[in-house]
Structures are given as C-alpha cells and as structure tokens.
Structure 1
Amino acid sequence: MYFVYPSRELRQLDKALTLFADIEWVKLTLVNMCDPNQIYIADVLDFLTHQWPCPTVVIAREHEGAALSEAWQKGALAGWIWEDLPEQPFDKLQQIEAQYKRNQDSRDLPTAAELQQRLLPTPEQFRQYNFQYLFQPSAYLSGDWIDFWQVNDDQILFYLADVSGHGVTSSLLTSWLAGFHKRAHSPEHLILKLNEMLIKENIEKHITMIAGMLDLKQNQLRCINAGHFPPAIYIAPNQDPVVFNSSSFPLGLTEDLKIDEITVEMQSGSQFILCSDGALEPYKGGINEQFQQLLNDLSQKSFNPPIQVNDDIAMLKIIHASN
C-alpha cells in the first residue's frame, strides 16, 4: 500500500502521516508509475484531477460529499473524511484490500468461463455417428467436463467427468482434464492415469467418470465407469432403454481401482447417453425417481434443461444415424 502525499494544504495531514507511518509515501507525480496490484490512499481532489487507474481509497474534507460521490463513480474503493480518520486504519485497509481482491477474482470469472468453453470439443460427425453435447454451468465455471477425439481411423475415445464439489478448484481440475485431450489411447489408460495423478498429488478432490471407445467399423462401443452416477444409458428404436449400473469407486480414492466394463452393439438409430448428476435437478423426488423421469424424457427426446440451475449439467450423446 502507498500513501500519496496531497497537493493541497491540509491541517489534518500531520495526523494522517502518523496514522500511516508504516505505509510508504509517494509523490503525486509518481502515481502514474504505480503498481496496479497495490492499494493507494490519496486526497479526493488529487484522485479526481489525475484519475489514475490504481485501486484507491480517497480522503475528502467533511463538506466534500459531492467530490467523494464522484470519486466512487470513477472507481474509488472507499472514502474517508480528513476530519474523522479511523484510529486503526490498517484493519479497515485490510478489509478493503480483501474485498478488492474478491471483486477482482469475480471480474475475471467471465473471461475464465470463456476460456473453459474454448477447451470443449466441437460437436462432430464421425462417419455414421454424431457426437453432440450439452454443457451448462450453474455459475461461470463448471466442474463437469466432456471430451472426445479420434484415436485412429476407426476408433473414437470419449468421456464425461464430474469433479467433486463446486467452485474454482473444481473447475481448475476440468482444465487439467482437458490437458489429456489426445494424450490417452484407451479408456483404461485415461482412467488409471488420472487416478494415479490424483492420489500422487493429494489434491483432496475426487472425480467420477465414464470413459469409452467407439469402434466405427464394428459399430461397437465399450465403456468403463469409475463411480459415476447417473449411469450410462442406451436407447434403441422399439426397445426399452438399457441402463448400465456400476459399483466402481471414483478416481482419487484408492490405488487399487477396479472398474466395470460393458460392451454395446450400436444399432442404427440408437443413442448412447452420458450425463452428470446435474441433469437430475429439474425433477422432483428421490434420486431413483429423478433418474427414472430423466430416462423417460431422454427416451421421448423431450429433455429440456432449466435456464437457471443449482448444479452443473453436462450431457454427451453418441447417435448412430439411421440408414
């Protein structure tokens, strides 16, 4: 923090210099060279005259309410009165600085959300298969993640993951997941490598995931589940939906990870669907009732996510186009 020596004469200046004795003083002419990460304390008229971009606590005379109001409109963090300076200014300044940093983090969230969106794959068609997805964060950033890529001419690797908890830490792990794009060559390799890294780094987060491989030539899909709910769903024309339940553990809990694998013959017109637990949010009842309602809507192609959600929603559909 810095105290900007005022350009006008103020009889309260001596008291201020005593109160701010531990803060470095700077001349007004040097403020334009200021560190934008530091908080400055300055006279309100100097701030309005020079309008520097640094975060600033302004001090006004008791009759300068209009100037104080103008300074707030121009971005001042807080305002004090020269005739009534706080006796313990450092406590106040620490509170102001903490709030400023929180606000800065919040301002960065839209940009971070845009960057996260850019890491998502582009919906794509691989021969007779369409890969489509829904990605709807509950706030700016999501702890859910989807990815798919072509391993070779005939095979597509895909996954849907859900990081435990909410907030920035969970969303940062989705960026970490995105770093595996095209680095894994099988579902087993992807899941075992992620599990190993989570345990080694002791991040105190776990990840549920369904990962699979689609063989375009054989029209066969194999899939493994690492503790993820809702389970994978297979919907084919004129058949009841098939649900692939699993009792496997999430990633990051145990080194001795055992995972269930299933194989699906993809019929013409069928869909293989993965979703995060946020997809259950629009429905009432217990978790089993919610899942049944979701299953019914997916079967009837009538799932409509709400605009505002309390949990992230991610859904990946692998659609075998009808002949």
Structure 2
Amino acid sequence: MYFIQPTRDIPYLDQVIDTLPSVQMIRIDDIDLYDQTIIAIADVQDYLTHRWNLPTIVLGFEDEGLALSQAWEQGALAGWIWSKLPAEPQQALLKIDAQYKRNQDSRDLPSAAELQKRLLPNPIELVNYEIETLFQPSAYLSGDWFDYWKISDKELIFYLADVSGHGVTSSLLTSWMAAFHGRSKTPRELLKKLNGMLVQENIEKHITMISGILNLETHQLRWSSAGHYPPAIIFEPNQPPKILNTSSFPLGLTEDLEVEEYECVLSRQARFIICSDGALEPYVGGLNEQFEQLVYHLQNQSFKAPEHVADDIAILSLCRLN
C-alpha cells in the first residue's frame, strides 16, 4: 500500500509510519506514476484538496469530523484519526483491501456481462430456415450458452449447453466453449471433445448439452444429448409435439461417455426447439407439470421470460420455412 506524504505538519506522522512499516511513501506530485488500483493512506486535507483517483483511507485530527465526512462522500474507503489508529491497523488494512477488491469485482460485472453477450453468435441468413434465440441470465453472467455456425454451404451445426451452478466460474466455461468448439464437425465429436477436456482438467463442474447438425437442403437433422433436460421438442402444424427424450450422462463426469446420435427429417413449418432448464422456472408444480406448461407456451408461441428469473434461461429454435 502507499502512504502519501502529508503537505502539512502532522505530529503523529512518525508514530503512524512505525505502526505501518509495510507501506510505501510517495509524494503527491508523483501519484500519477503509481498503480491506481492500490490503496493509499493520506491526510484528509490533502485528499480533499487534490482529488486523486487512488482508493484512499484518510487520516484526520479529532476535530476534523466534517472533513472526514466530506472525504467519505467523495469516495474515501475509510476515515481514521491520526492519534487513534485501529487496535490492529495491519489487519484493518487487509480487511479494507479485501472489501475494496470485492467491490471492484462487482463493478466489473456489468462490463463482463456485456463482453459475454458479444460472444453469442451473430444472426445468419439461411436458405429455408430461420433461427430464433432467447438469452436471459439470472444475474450479470450466465452459465447457459448456445452457439451455431455453418460448416459448409448446406450444413449448420449448433448446441445449447447448461453449466452446473452459477457465477463467474460457470460463465468462464461458456466462454471456453465458445473458443473451443470450432474444430468440431459433428455433434458427437463436439460432445466427446468437450467431455475429454473437462475430465482431463478436473474442473469441478459438469455440463449438460444438446448438439445437432442440420442439412439445409435435405432437412435431415442429427442430434445428440449429454444429460440435458428439458429434452428437445419438435412442433409441426396440426400435430402433437414430439418430445425427443434421450438418456446419457452430462459432460465432465466420466471418461467413458457413451454418446448416441439420433436423426429425423424436419417437415415444412416445423420448429426444433431446445431450452435450458431455467425455461421451466416461470411455471408452478413439479417437474412434469412445469414441462407440460413450457411445451404448451412454446407450441403457442406465448412463452415470456419473467423480468427477474431465478435461473439462467437460454432457448434456441430452428424453424423451417415454407
């Protein structure tokens, strides 16, 4: 930490410096040369006069309560009295530093969320098909993710994944997937590679995922699932919904992951939809009742995500046009 040399006479200065031997003394004129994220300790009058950007703990005399209050309003981290430091000042500094870093992390979350959203795939124009998506994190960062990309003029590969848990670690795994997937050419290959890397790195997370490949000319759809719920659904005009149940383990649990591949042909105006389990949260009842309600609203195109959700929501829909 820094200690900014006071510009006025402080009778307690040597005593305070002796109490805090690990701080680095710097001059006010040189503040811009130092790391702006490291906490500084400074006289309150200097702080109010020079208005620097360093995170600062201010020190004042006992009769300078108003000045200490003004410094607090202007962003000082804490206010101490020159002649009455905390009983264990080093421990107090460590606590303030830890809290400051936590607050900085929180301030960075909106920017991190914006960066995460930029990693989502850009809309692409497809012959005979339209892609519709929904992405709504429950907090700033999401552990749900989807992506799609063309591997040839007539083939589109896609996936929707749900990382266990919430928070920064889960969201980092979605960014990792976004950077990793491009070398995979089939759903099974994608799932196998992701699973192998998760197991090898011993990351204490698992991922459920549905991945598929669509031929835009023949309308053949091949897909695989890794323990994902809810299952994929196909909606066709004047037909009951087709629930594409599968059975498998999530990614990251075992090296011996068996990945089955399924296929069908999408008819005209068919919609193939995959969702994360957060899409069930708006509905009441047990898991089966929630799923029935989700299917109803997806079929009638009346699904609406609440403004505030308890779990991340991601939906990816492939719609064949006339």
Q: Please state which band the TM-score falls in when normalised by the shorter chain.
A: over 0.9
* Number of the residue aligned with 1:266: 266
2:310 is the alignment partner of 1:297: no
CA RMSD across the alignment: 1.3
TM-score (norm 1): 0.96
C-alpha contact (below 8 Å) 2:188/2:260 kept by paired residues: no
Return the alpha-carbon distance in structure 2 between the equivalents of residues 271 and 180 of structure 1. Answer: 28
C-alpha contact (below 8 Å) 2:226/2:259 kept by paired residues: yes
Indicate the SS of the match to 1:222.
strand
Deviations 1:158-186 (A, max 9, x none): 00001111100000000001113532211
Q: CA deviation at 1:299?
A: 1.1
Return the alpha-carbon distance in structure 2 between the equivalents of residues 87 and 72 of structure 1. Answer: 21
Return the alpha-carbon distance in structure 1 between the equivalents of residues 147 and 32 of structure 2. Answer: 46
Indicate the SS of the match to 1:263.
strand
CA change 1:8–1:145 in 2 (3 A) is same
2:158 is the alignment partner of 1:154: no
Indicate the SS of the match to 2:151.
strand
2:120 is the alignment partner of 1:116: no
Letter in 2 for 1:191: L
Letter in 2 for 1:54: L
Deviations 1:222-253 (A, max 9, x none): 11000100110011011110111122000111
Indicate the SS of the match to 2:148.
strand
C-alpha contact (below 8 Å) 1:58/1:68 kept by paired residues: yes
Deviations 1:45-89 (A, max 9, x none): 111222221111111122222222222232211111223211211
Q: CA deviation at 1:30?
A: 2.7
* Number of the residue aligned with 1:133: 133
Return the alpha-carbon distance in structure 2 between the equivalents of residues 24 and 293 of structure 1. Answer: 63
Indicate the SS of the match to 1:93.
helix
Letter in 2 for 1:317: S
Return the alpha-carbon distance in structure 2 between the equivalents of residues 148 and 29 of structure 1. Answer: 54
C-alpha contact (below 8 Å) 1:224/1:261 kept by paired residues: yes
Q: Which runs of 5+ in 1 are unaligned?
A: none
C-alpha contact (below 8 Å) 2:188/2:261 kept by paired residues: no
Return the alpha-carbon distance in structure 2 between the equivalents of residues 21 and 195 of structure 1. Answer: 50
Deviations 1:18-42 (A, max 9, x none): 2112322223333232222321111
Letter in 1 for 2:297: D
* Number of the residue aligned with 1:145: 145
Q: Which runs of 5+ in 2 are unaligned?
A: none
Return the alpha-carbon distance in structure 1 between the equivalents of residues 219 and 21 of structure 2. Answer: 75
Return the alpha-carbon distance in structure 1 between the equivalents of residues 255 and 74 of structure 2. Answer: 55
TM-score (norm 2): 0.97
Return the alpha-carbon distance in structure 1 between the equivalents of residues 22 and 300 of structure 2. Answer: 69
* Number of the residue aligned with 1:15: 15
* Number of the residue aligned with 1:172: 172
* Number of the residue aligned with 1:3: 3
Identity of aligned residues (%): 56
Indicate the SS of the match to 1:126.
coil
Q: CA deviation at 1:11?
A: 2.3
- Between stretches 231-240 and 182-191, larger displacement belongs to 182-191
Q: Would you say how many aligned residue pairs link Structure 1 and Structure 2?
A: 322
Letter in 2 for 1:7: T
* Number of the residue aligned with 2:82: 82
Matches within 5 A, 1:148-227: 148-227=148-227
Return the alpha-carbon distance in structure 2 between the equivalents of residues 264 and 74 of structure 1. Answer: 64
Indicate the SS of the match to 2:111.
helix
Indicate the SS of the match to 1:304.
coil
Indicate the SS of the match to 1:259.
coil
* Number of the residue aligned with 1:33: 33
C-alpha contact (below 8 Å) 1:234/1:273 kept by paired residues: yes
Return the alpha-carbon distance in structure 2 between the equivalents of residues 212 and 7 of structure 1. Answer: 68
Matches within 5 A, 1:242-253: 242-253=242-253
Return the alpha-carbon distance in structure 2 between the equivalents of residues 108 and 37 of structure 1. Answer: 13
Indicate the SS of the match to 2:182.
coil
